[in-house]
Amino acid sequence: VHADPQAGQAVKAADRAHVFHSWSAQGLIDPLAVAGAEGSYFWDYDGNRYLDFSSQLVNTNIGHQHPKVVAAIQEQAGRLCTIAPGFAVDVRAEAARLVAERTPGDLDKIFFTNGGAEAVENAVRMARLHTGRPKVMSAYRSYHGATSTAINLTGDPRRWASDSAAAGVVHFWGPFLYRSSFHAETEAQECERALAHLEQTIAFEGPQTIAAIILETIVGTAGVLVPPPGYLAGVREICDKYGIVFILDEVMAGFGRTGTWFAADLFDVTPDLLTFAKGVNSGYVPLGGVAISAKIAADFETKPYPGGLTYSGHPLACASAVATINAMAEEGIVENAARIGEDVLGPGLRDLAERHPSVGEVRGMGVFWALDLVRNKETREPLVPYNAAGEANAPMAEFAAACKKRGLWPFVNMNRTHVVPACTIGEAEAKDGLAALDAALAVADAHCA
Ligand code: PLP
């Protein structure tokens, strides 16, 4: 890695002059200036290289700068950079075919968006039009994006500033045995009680007022919460019983992260709508979309769909999706994610949990893991309180800094660190990352009682 600290300072100064950053107090941030990236790594201008255990925002499933995807974007740019959504274009049709071939069941029509939140917005719009009902239900402990409906559906503190009764959102508790809302002691109890709670919430809201239930197949940002066996099938049944549209949000879980193309494959469940983004093209060009079931697509056979975007199915984005999906299939990248999870990350993280008092629980599969950090394994008190900031969040901030000092870029959220590297990560790289985590966890351990 070539160091050029002066260039780094210049990039940072230029950034601070005019770039307004997401989710941040603009005067309090100090963004790292990034000089480049390749595979599982990115580097700064000071000669520091980081093993990317965050996949940025859990989106670079194919790693940074995959040569086939870069070449496909370059080739498409030379051919046709942009064209309105109303035209038929080869790369758009091919991207839709490749996605539709992989989505479960009869989800065979693809509406393209620029990202995850727009996918969620449009899925909800389709559900409301399909049912003629106003409300949408989503889980506490969820993230669905930052646009109007998507942020209202979100079940974390980022919603609070944008909360609007007009959004028509009703939240409920999903299953999460380690911190059970149902005083459950087994997965089976948690599943049964979570389903009963959902059905009761529906009864009290009025089933005829509910257009959709949206769930992340495996909850991502809020903690890599893998639903117990039977839960998603149970939600599917409840949706069918009350004529509610079932939306699975696979923006984070989809395209290889769980070691399968979609997390829904693991639970043998087919939603009516499935949202995707991130891993579909690893974010090389912004892209997301909604996969639509035959039943809902049929509504718009003779009646126009009242929604659209200037860049829906953008050729550069679609070309990168085609190249990404083909490369993932040709190179066995989804299988690699499964194997790394089973052989390296799973055993390695469970070993960390045994040796570190701060690791309360290990959850996940593939390249989709979370360590739930605690002050005390018996009481399960989180290492930092819910939504902690400043001094209260110091243990997590110190842990993150310790990771970075050891060349590991972590994904941290509240009292958790997620282990979400690229699906392409090699065994040696994964082991290097585990060793860095091992060292950094000593910092968290120091806060244990
Ligand atoms: N849905 C889920 C499950 C996500 O994880 C995210 C982003 O993290 C979104 C939706 C929003 O996607 P985007 O940031 O592309 O709008």
**Amino acid (one-letter) located at 311:** Y
The band of 2, judged by pLDDT with boundaries at 50, 70 and 90, is confident
Q: Which of 330, 357, 372 is the last residue of a domain?
A: 330
Residues 105 and 233 occupy one common structural domain: yes
The band of 166, judged by pLDDT with boundaries at 50, 70 and 90, is confident
- Mean pLDDT over 103-118 rounds to 98
pLDDT value at 1 more than 80: no
How is 391-447 classified by DSSP, letter by letter?
Answer: GGGHHHHHHHHHHHHTTEE-EEETTEEEE---TT--HHHHHHHHHHHHHHHHHHHTT
Atom of ligand 1 nearest to the CA of 142: 3
Q: Which of 297, 330, 363 is the last residue of a domain?
A: 330
Report the separation in Å between the CA atom of 149 and the middle of ligand 1, taken as the mean of its atom positions: 12
- Mean pLDDT over 236-248 rounds to 98
Q: Which residues of 183-199 are buried (b: 16+ CB within 10 A; e: fewer)?
A: ebeebebbbbbbbebbb
Residues 307 and 337 occupy one common structural domain: no
Q: pLDDT digits over 169-197, tens only?
A: 999 999 999 999 999 999 999 999 999 99
3-class state of residue 27 by DSSP? helix
Length of the chain equals 449
ipTM: 0.99
Residues 162 and 291 occupy one common structural domain: yes
Residues 364 and 404 occupy one common structural domain: yes
Q: Chain-wide mean pLDDT for the chain? A: 97
pLDDT value at 342 more than 90: yes
Task: Verify whether ligand 1 is closer than 6 Å to residue 216 (CB atom).
Answer: yes
Residues 268 and 135 occupy one common structural domain: yes
Please give the tally of structural domains in the chain.
2
pLDDT value at 225 more than 80: yes
Mutate to test the pocket of ligand 1, among 143, 156, 285, 420 (most ligand atoms within 8 A of CB): 143
pLDDT > 90 in the chain, percent? 98
Q: Which of 330, 346, 378 is the last residue of a domain?
A: 330
Using CA atoms, how far apart are residues 217 and 250, in angstroms rounded to an integer? 6
Q: pLDDT digits over 409-440, tens only?
A: 999 999 999 999 999 999 999 999 999 999 99
Task: Verify whether ligand 1 is closer than 6 Å to residue 121 (CB atom).
Answer: no
Q: pLDDT digits over 124-133, tens only?
A: 999 999 999 9
Task: Verify whether ligand 1 is closer than 6 Å to residue 116 (CB atom).
Answer: yes
- Mean pLDDT over 394-398 rounds to 98
| Token pair belonging to 301 | 């056979």
Residues 226 and 375 occupy one common structural domain: no
The edge-to-edge listing of strands for the beta sheet with 41-44 is 34-38, 41-44, 49-52, 408-409
Residues 293 and 431 occupy one common structural domain: no
User: Would you say 403 and 409 are in contact if contact means Cβ atoms under 8 Å apart?
Assistant: yes
pLDDT > 70 in the chain, percent? 100
Q: pLDDT digits over 292-331, tens only?
A: 999 999 999 999 999 999 999 999 999 999 999 999 999 9
Q: How far is CA 217 from CA 137, 160, 248, 448, in A?
A: 14, 23, 6, 32
Using CA atoms, how far apart are residues 123 and 145, in angstroms rounded to an integer? 13
Residues 203 and 269 occupy one common structural domain: yes
Task: Verify whether ligand 1 is closer than 6 Å to residue 274 (CB atom).
Answer: no
Task: Verify whether ligand 1 is closer than 6 Å to residue 249 (CB atom).
Answer: yes
CATH of the domain at 308: 3.40.640.10
Mutate to test the pocket of ligand 1, among 54, 278, 420 (most ligand atoms within 8 A of CB): 278
Residues 73 and 194 occupy one common structural domain: yes
Residues 380 and 390 occupy one common structural domain: yes
Task: Verify whether ligand 1 is closer than 6 Å to residue 120 (CB atom).
Answer: yes
Report the separation in Å between the CA atom of 209 and the middle of ligand 1, taken as the mean of its atom positions: 26
CATH of the domain at 352: 3.90.1150.10
The band of 198, judged by pLDDT with boundaries at 50, 70 and 90, is very high
Task: Identify which of 65, 90, 117 has the alpha carbon closest to the alpha carbon of residue 315.
Answer: 90
- Show the domain range for 50: 5-65+332-445
Task: Verify whether ligand 1 is closer than 6 Å to residue 382 (CB atom).
Answer: no
Report the separation in Å between the CA atom of 300 and the middle of ligand 1, taken as the mean of its atom positions: 26
